[in-house]
């Protein structure tokens, strides 16, 4: 079965704090792709990052970084020095290599509130 | 930067009425999708469309739903006889191919009264 679990329903931090959003995935496929999307209060879904199962290198983009660990089936997302504009729902998602259609399987999402 | 556009942004419909949600995917994309997000819940896959036919559909996508690509640019989702539980945000997405990221429209909020 393919599944994405985001155990943290809501996180609240004060501006400038670092915060990590957890994502654990399940798949039997050896080839798969992991994604993070951001959903700000305005409601749209914004693509943040894609990672394939053969590339375990961590990635940093400005204040954002991602830690992919196949050994624990996790793809965690860290925001350094959080800002109020980071307040949003963040979704982790999976596409399995056996999918002919490339449909995304989403986690439940983590609501991040950054307070000034 | 090209984007997926959806219309209308908000649709209010009486239960039992038909509704058509419209999407214009990114022009060079080949794969098209509809997803649904009930308020406060996760985003759920409804249907994928490639080469002018449905390639996969979820259990949610029953006989009340249909999709169409009537011309080279539009991609529509029709719900024939809406129910209260169809109230949700509906997202259209497209991707160019391979396992490239899907790009989402801003969504249509469907409210069934």
Burial grade of B45 (CB within 10 A; 0-12, 13-18, 19 or more):
buried
What pLDDT, on a 0 to 100 scale, did the predictor assign at position A105? 95
Per-residue pLDDT tens over the stretch A16-70: 999 999 999 999 999 999 999 999 999 999 999 999 998 888 888 899 999 999 9
């954002």: which residue's tokens?
A64
Tell me the C-alpha distance between B92 and B34, whole Å: 5
Whether residue B8 is preceded by a cis peptide bond, meaning omega within 30 degrees of 0, is yes
Contact state of A43 with B106 under an 8 Å Cβ cutoff: yes
Question: Looking at chain B, which residue has its C-alpha nearest residue A111?
Answer: B40
- Give the helix/strand (H/E) hosting B12: strand B10-13
Which residues of A, range 1-30, sit inside 8 Å of B by Cβ?
none
What pLDDT, on a 0 to 100 scale, did the predictor assign at position B80? 95
The tens-digit pLDDT sequence of chain B (113 residues) is 779 999 999 999 999 999 999 999 999 999 999 999 999 899 999 999 999 999 999 999 999 999 999 887 899 999 999 999 999 999 999 999 877 889 999 999 999 99
Burial grade of A55 (CB within 10 A; 0-12, 13-18, 19 or more):
exposed
Contact state of B102 with A101 under an 8 Å Cβ cutoff: no
Distance set, CA B56 to CA A10, A21, B45, B46, B103 (Å): 32, 30, 10, 8, 18
What pLDDT, on a 0 to 100 scale, did the predictor assign at position A24? 98
Nearest CB neighbour to A102, from listed B99, B105, B107: B99
What pLDDT, on a 0 to 100 scale, did the predictor assign at position B72? 77
Nearest CB neighbour to B45, from listed A43, A103, A108: A103
What pLDDT, on a 0 to 100 scale, did the predictor assign at position A60? 86
Per-residue pLDDT tens over the stretch A9-29: 999 999 999 999 999 999 999
What pLDDT, on a 0 to 100 scale, did the predictor assign at position B55? 93
Distance set, CA A71 to CA A1, A53, A66, A67 (Å): 18, 11, 15, 12
Confidence of residue A98 (pLDDT cuts 50, 70, 90): confident
What pLDDT, on a 0 to 100 scale, did the predictor assign at position B66? 97
What pLDDT, on a 0 to 100 scale, did the predictor assign at position B97? 84
């Amino acid at each position: 079965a393919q599944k994405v679990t985001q155990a943290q329903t809501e996180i609240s931090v004060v501006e400038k704090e670092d915060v990590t959003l957890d994502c654990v995935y399940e798949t039997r496929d050896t080839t798969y792709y992991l994604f993070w999307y951001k959903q700000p209060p305005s409601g749209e879904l914004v693509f943040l990052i894609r990672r394939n199962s053969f590339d375990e290198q961590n990635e940093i983009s400005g204040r954002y970084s991602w830690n992919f660990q196949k050994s624990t089936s996790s793809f965690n997302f860290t925001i350094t020095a959080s800002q109020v504009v980071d307040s949003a729902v963040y979704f982790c998602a999976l596409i399995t290599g056996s999918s002919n259609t490339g449909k995304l399987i989403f986690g439940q999402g983590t609501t991040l509130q950054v307070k000034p | 930067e090209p984007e997926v556009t959806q219309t209308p942004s908000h649709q209010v419909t009486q239960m039992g009425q038909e509704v058509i949600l419209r999407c214009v995917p990114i022009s060079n994309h080949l794969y098209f999708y509809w997803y649904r997000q009930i308020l406060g819940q996760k985003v759920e896959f409804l249907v994928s469309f490639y080469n002018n036919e449905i390639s996969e559909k979820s259990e949610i996508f029953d006989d009340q739903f249909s999709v169409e690509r009537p011309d080279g640019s539009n991609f529509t989702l029709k719900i024939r006889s809406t129910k209260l539980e169809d109230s949700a945000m509906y997202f259209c997405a497209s991707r160019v191919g391979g396992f490239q990221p899907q790009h989402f429209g801003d969504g249509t909020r469907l409210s069934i009264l």
